[in-house]
Structures are given as structure tokens and as C-alpha cells.
Amino acid sequence: MKYVDEFRDKALARRLAAQIAEEADPARSYNFMEFCGGHTHAIFRYGVQDLMPENVNFVHGPGCPVCVLPIPRIDNAIELAEGGAIVCTYGDMMRVPASGRNSLIKAKAAGADIRMIYSTQDALRIARENPDREVVFFAIGFETTTPPTAVAIKQAAAEGLRNFTVFCNHVLTPAAIQHILQSPEVRELGQVHIDGFYGPSHVSSIIGSAPYEYFAREFQKPVVIAGFEPLDVMQSTVMLIRQINEGRFEVENQYTRVVTPEGNAHAKALVSEVFELRRMFEWRGLGDVPYSALRIKDAYGEFDAERRFTLTESRGRDVKGCECPAILRGVKKPTDCKLFGTVCTPDNPMGSCMVSSEGSCAAYWSYGRFRLERVKEAAE
């Protein structure tokens, strides 16, 4: 596969590993937070950590929009389906635990009309094919996934698709990064020590690299926008280490084949035509984060599920003992959670970090569990 296989090349990986080993100062450690679930996935699936020296560590942040969606919003989606609407959702959301251990897939098994789709175009098609039913698209995702929702809403407006609405849960990454950097845990010494960030690949392809300048300046931490493939992550690591060693804190772009400073102007314009900022939005694990999420503008209000339907409002509460909130902030590791691997497994997930394949816990489990067992055995 072009533009994929070249960036997974073993020989180049060894070169980059050698470079990292050479430039990493043995007198200190480097902790880099990867914000994007896709990076978590790449790191574990390809075993990138195996190629890093001991003093270079990945800290897994909340890069997973599935992980940060609060339980009440999933409850609302189930509520809409149980109320008779056809609820269309991306596959990722199906197994995420909601209240009372319910989930979209369980609600579907109990008879709710919940349909997994690949594209917002599929949701529009379902709306056209079922003119007598309400069709709600459960919109989630960061800035990468927002433009496709904007396109769908505009198309629905142009076609006069009266039975189509969107339940909007789109969130913004810069707001989340800022919140992590400013959270009380970060200020306390020794709890979360982040030296730099891997900027999200495809979010940046839409919003550009410019929005990250603020963090680099304000918090004096380097940001390198990194592509998704394992070689991209490794090259970005070299760039981050260099910045730290040279005392720089800039935004650099490693993913130049896709990301430009301005991003995709057309996509951004579509989004700002349809959406506006919410003053406040609850993120699972991060609490209320200001100006971090989007809602549908009045001009497209008739396609807003929250306006058309009355939804129960509540605050989410995680399962007792579930450390997702701390794990999402990078404060704790999955292995620090008492439920991990005991009660909480991919077959029986307690929190979203385990259900979502991008979640830290799922990644640890699927790809790295054996390391932990070895460590446990060695300790005994």
C-alpha cells in the first residue's frame, strides 16, 4: 500500500532507533504524551516501545473521542433509539459502557433500531429510505470527523430531509490538551511529567499546525505533529528530543505530506458554517472543559437532535474503582487500576479505556499484556 508500507519499513526503523539512542541524553528521561488514539494504536501494534531506549517513554493521553464521551451522552443515544428513532452510529461506539452496564449493542439486542454505519452519507441514505421514521446520527469525534458531519447537515438542509437530525458530540483537541496541561495533577510535582507532545495527525490535517503554537509558547513544551505510521512516530521522537536538548519549544510538523500550517480551509469553512462553540462540555475523566465542544448553529437548528427531542440530562459517574479519569489524563497507567485485567477485560469492560480499541487499557491488554505478566512474575 503506497504511503503506508514505506512508513513501516524495518530497516528505516532501525536507523531511527539508532538516532534516538544517540541523541537521547542518558542523564535525563523524556516523557512524551501522544494525544491521538491512532498513535497509541501504532505504538502498541508495532511494538515501537521495544525500539526506544529506557529513558524515552510514552504517556498515553485522552486521544480517543470514544473514551472521553461522558456516559449521559451515550444514555441519551440509547434513549433516542428506545424512543423509536433509527440511531446511526460509527462502530466504535457500539460497545462503550453506558449507565447500568447498558450499551448501544445491548440496546440493539433488546430491540432498539441502532445501525452501524461507515459514513454520514449512509445515515442520509437511511433517512431518505425511511421517510416515516426519525433518523438520528450519533455524531462523535474530534476535528477530523466533524467536517463529514457538516457536509451531511448541509446536504440534509439542501434536500429538505425533514426526518434527519444529528446528536452532536464533536469535541476540540486543543482545548483538551490545554486542560490536561493546566489540571491540578500536572501542577503537583511528580504526578504527570510531560516534556512534549506528539500532535494529532489527522486533526491537524484539518485545523493546520497553527493552533498548537499557543501551547508551545504558553507552556514551553515542544509539539511535533506526527504522522500515524510507526516510522512517523519515531522520526517525531527524534525531533522532540532535539528540541528538548536544544532548549526549544516550538511547533514542528513531521507529517508534511498531509499537514500544512493552515490545514484544509474548505473543511474549516464548512464546519464554522454549521457549528458553534458550546460554552461548557463535560469530558469523561476531565470534568467540565470550557469551549471544548461544538453544537449546531440556529441556522441549522432543525437538524439538531437536542432541539427536536427532549433528552434526560444527568452527570456521568464511572464504576467504582475504575481509573479511566486518571488514565485519560496520563496520571495513571492501566496497570495502576485495580480493575485492570481482573474484573475489567475487553470481554467485560468497565470503562471506555478498555472498550475502545484506541483506549490505553485496550491497547495495553491486546498488545502488551505479556510484558506486565513478566514484570509481575519477576517481582514475585
Partner 1 sequence: MCLAIPARIVEKTGGENAIVSLDGVKKEISLALVADAEVGDYVLVHVGYALNTISPEEAERTLSLMAEMGLAGEAAE
Partner 2 sequence: MNRPAKLMEKRFPTRINMRTAKVDMTHGSGGRAMAQLIEELFARHFDNELLRQGNDQALFAPPPGRMVMSVDGHVVSPLFFPGGDIGSLSVHGTINDVAMAGARPLYLSAGFILEEGFALADLERIVISMAQSAKEAGVPVVTGDTKVVERGKGDGVFITTTGIGVVPDGVELSGANVRPGDAILINGAIGEHGVAIMSSRENLAFETEITSDSAALHGLVAEMIAAVPEIHAMRDPTRGGLAATLNEIAWQAKVGMKLDEEAIPMRPEVDAACELLGLDPLYVANEGKLVAFCPAARAEELLAVMRAHPLGREAAIIGQVVEDDMGFVTMETGFGGTRIVDWLAGEQLPRIC
Q: Which three cell numbers stand for residue 212?
A: 498548537
Nearer to partner 1 by C-beta: 98 or 140? 140
Q: How far is the CB of 369 from partner 2 (least distance, A)?
A: 6
By three-state DSSP, how is residue 139 classified?
A: strand
Nearer to partner 2 by C-beta: 1 or 379? 1
Q: Which three cell numbers stand for residue 350?
A: 468497565
Query: In this chain, which of 71, 85, 140, 363 binds partner 1, going by CB under 8 A?
Result: 140
Question: Per-residue string for binding with partner 1, 24-43, x by CB under 8 A?
Answer: ------------xxx-----
Could you tell me the sign of the dihedral formed by the alpha carbons of 78, 80, 86, 88, in that order? negative
Q: How far is the CB of 29 from partner 2 (least distance, A)?
A: 20
Is residue 78 a contact point for partner 1 (CB under 8 A)? no
Is residue 347 a contact point for partner 2 (CB under 8 A)? yes
Is residue 1 a contact point for partner 2 (CB under 8 A)? yes
> Residue 49's binding partner, choosing from partner 2, partner 1, none, with beta-carbon cut-off 5 to 8 A by kind?
partner 2
Nearest to 183 by CA among 226, 207, 219, 142: 219
Per-position DSSP letters for 41-73, written without gaps between them: HHHHHTTGGGGS-TTEEEEE-S--TTTTS-HHH
> Residue 346's binding partner, choosing from partner 2, partner 1, none, with beta-carbon cut-off 5 to 8 A by kind?
partner 2
The site that binds partner 1 (CB under 8 A) totals a number of residues, namely: 58
The site that binds partner 2 (CB under 8 A) totals a number of residues, namely: 45
Q: Between the CA of residue 194 and those of 33, 84, 233, 334, what are the distances in Å?
A: 6, 46, 17, 17
Binding part of the chain for partner 2, among 41-49, 187-195, 322-330, 335-343 by CB under 8 A, reads 41-49
Query: Which residues from 129-188 bind partner 2, rule CB under 8 A?
Result: 141, 145
Question: Per-residue string for binding with partner 2, 223-252, x by CB under 8 A?
Answer: -------x----------------------
Longest dimension (CA), the chain: 68
Could you tell me the sign of the dihedral formed by the alpha carbons of 335, 339, 345, 351, in that order? negative
Do 361 and 353 form a contact (C-beta atoms < 8 A)? yes
> Residue 287's binding partner, choosing from partner 2, partner 1, none, with beta-carbon cut-off 5 to 8 A by kind?
none
Could you tell me the sign of the dihedral formed by the alpha carbons of 81, 313, 165, 294, in that order? negative
By three-state DSSP, how is residue 368 classified?
A: helix
Binding part of the chain for partner 1, among 5-13, 75-83, 160-168, 190-198 by CB under 8 A, reads 5-13
By three-state DSSP, how is residue 249 classified?
A: coil
Is residue 26 a contact point for partner 2 (CB under 8 A)? no
